[in-house]
Structure 1
Amino acid sequence: PTSDVNDFDKAKVFLMNADRKLKELPLTHPRGFAFSPDSKKLAVVVPEEEDPWMDNGAVEIVDLSDLSKKRVVVKHDLNIELVSWTEKGFFVSWIEDCTISLGLLGEKGTISRLTNEDQLVMASSTTPNGEHLAMAMATDDEPVEIYLDGKKLTDIASLQPKRERVRKERLSWKSNDGTEIHGVLNLPADFDSMKKHPLVVLVHGGPTWTALAARVTSSYYPIEQLVSKGVLVLEPNYRGSEGYGRDFRKLNYRNLGIGDYEDVISGVDHLIEKGFVDEDLTGVMGWSQGGYISAFCATYGKRFKAASVGAGISNWMTYHVNTDIHEFCHRYLGDNPWKDPQIYEQTSPMTYIKNASTPTLIQHGGSDTRVPPPNAFELYQGLREMNVPVRLVIYKGMGHGADKPGLHRAIMIQNLAWFSHYLLGEPLEESFKLKRVDREKTEKS
């Protein structure tokens, strides 16, 4: 296979010796590797069954002398990733209920947890004997700090400027079909539940990612800035999100858009019923898959006062013929658009463009190969011709995600201006347009 992302499912593993001779290892759909402490064996994460997109990961151990294999199947409904193989066993990480955990996996498939639900491990490293563990970890109360064997070595929080803290609360609700959905609500420290607040929904990408409950911040969306203005921010873990088991990950199969919309709207309604959200002042924003869901919310329904679509899919046919990862459509929609045009139409935001009324900000990288710019152009033109307020921003040279500080800053400034205008009545033009120094940072940084 080639390095093309479409060949992901055909990936192979080879071992090269000192004479540069290659030996193929008997592994299918590999992801994540770790050598044993004596380097005589190799552990690889592979799908527990046959589906590399939906299955939980199992650990396959290959003896490099004779290529014999042994499999360790995790006894919990968790999708693990290998961190390292030590004398104590396998250090593994996994996403679970709004956090990223760390533990030790034994050869019988049991996991001994090393962190709790209030701790989020962003990165970790161990010594070969497993006696010492370094982690970049955040908690519900502190931002990411460096820890060694449980002792905090840094105090990054003290270096940050003073700012009001955002409270993050885990919550759950029932979607329209009875599915339990979890998420994170961002609140001001002095939150008053007796008042009605504007609400913005931040939809994560993936879809196999998750909203995080620890004290980490978004590099695209102004969560803290909105909360400081009295706007609540809900981050739902809609169906297909990581962290709730294999069956939950599969719930959006041939149910993209519509199922996502119900999960988002049911979360909004849950907060409205609690009495502290103004149902007339709600917005939705997201990047990549989150941008797609935001676009769907903007055209399929009329519940939101404003929307922001970042690198989002607007039409699955347009996406399929332009993207660099066609297999995504096959895995989530079941077939190609020529054999099953109905599912592509049913799940596309553009199908419902005549129903659209939500003012929409569209942000997209000009060099995005994952979700190419025609998706943005199509949504923009459709909203224009339906007389819906819309702005399109194309970031020159940017791919599917921002990789320069100036781009992150521009994306965040424009989102803050957009929602401050439509939810809080603040002027748009002056704050939306980047100052000259910010434009230069965006182009050069």
Structure 2
Amino acid sequence: MPSRATRVYVIGLCVVAASLSAWSLASVPRPVDLIFFAGLVLLTEQFKARLGRNVLVSLTSVVAVATYPVLGMWGAPALIGALFTKRRAYSFDKRAYNVAQGVVCTFIGGAVYVALGGEVGTLARDSFPYILVPVTAAIIAWHISNAVLISGVLWLDGGGSPLRTMKANFVEVFLSFLGYSYLGLLLAVLWLGQLGPMAGLLVLAPLLVARWAFAQYAAEQKAHQSTLQALAQAIETKDLYTRGHGERVSKAARMLGQQMGWDGDRLEAVAEAGLLHDVGKIGVPTRVLQKDGRLTEDEFESIKLHPLHGVEVVGDIAFLEDARAGIMHHHERYDGTGYPSGLRATDIPVFARVLSISDAFDCMTSVRSYRAARPVDEAVEELVRCRGTHFDPELVDLFVAAVRRDGWQAAPVQTVPAVGVTGAFDHDDPAHPPQVEGSEATP
């Protein structure tokens, strides 16, 4: 259920949109054109492309841009046409909010267009290229206001960072949206060139191409996720105690990445690396992974090869290229005593330094065959104790700050630790490193 503040926000936005619509309907020079634009909005709503389970990309901003040269700042009521589309994904209340948001954004864009001297009702040959200035400014205003309104409702509903939401909903997608928004200018040129509403049919084909492009992108992203999940499940079949480990390391890596100021593709890449950091265990014998006692030297050497196996597994998957360094070196230690390459300090790739902390933290807060899960505070203390030896000290400080601010949901208990099991190994836990037969020292 949405919070009270969210409901007030949505109701307020709907009131503003209704007021702007009434003002526009009283001022619009050609009401018939407004009706046709509303019909075109209804049509474009049928071409929404799904980019995720809960994300639909609308092409109505194309129609919004087209209203500026044709109707000036009075085309906002055309967005009401989207209210009558039937979508199972959205309730009427959500559609009302989306329509209100579209009306407000379209009015703001139109006001910017008119304020910058954009021509209304007619376009001459000498209008170009000068008209591109007010049109581009109007497009930018539309998308900025859209991102601000989305950030506001998400902040009130879930407390997410408005600046981070703004960046995700504007900066990272704006250039792709800017390109197809110019189709609105093409539609306006054809509309004012004596074609009128028939121009919508001519622009329909480019809109379908844009929709197809978004659908292809969505299909590619779905294929990426399927590949990641398949690899993650393959890891978990080797060892019951790693069930869900990849997802939690991915979550921790994302948390630390955000604390470092990462976003976009880089943040997604480190999260993917976290999910698949142990994929090389596919190449380690199951009896070694599930062994409770001391390891032989040969068994420990086979464990140490899993980062190399991991790089081999993901080596031919193009979209995991950025994750390879993290997978390869997540068992290096800051003091240079790790494996497989013995790198030290900042010679260790930053992805690997992030994963090293995330991996150890989840291991410590999860059940193992020889012990119960350690409390989060105790795991944090262990990270601090090992800063500068196992882990990058600066990244430890950032991760600890993130955990103390946001908290951490530890792994659910999946099984009870075996009674009397001693000498068990754990290559992820700095407090319980692997024990090798014939040696009192920990490798």
Largest Rg, 1 or 2: 2
TM-score, reference length from structure 2? 0.26
Where is the helix percentage greater, Structure 1 or Structure 2? 2
Normalised TM-score (structure 1): 0.26
Higher share of residues assigned strand:
1
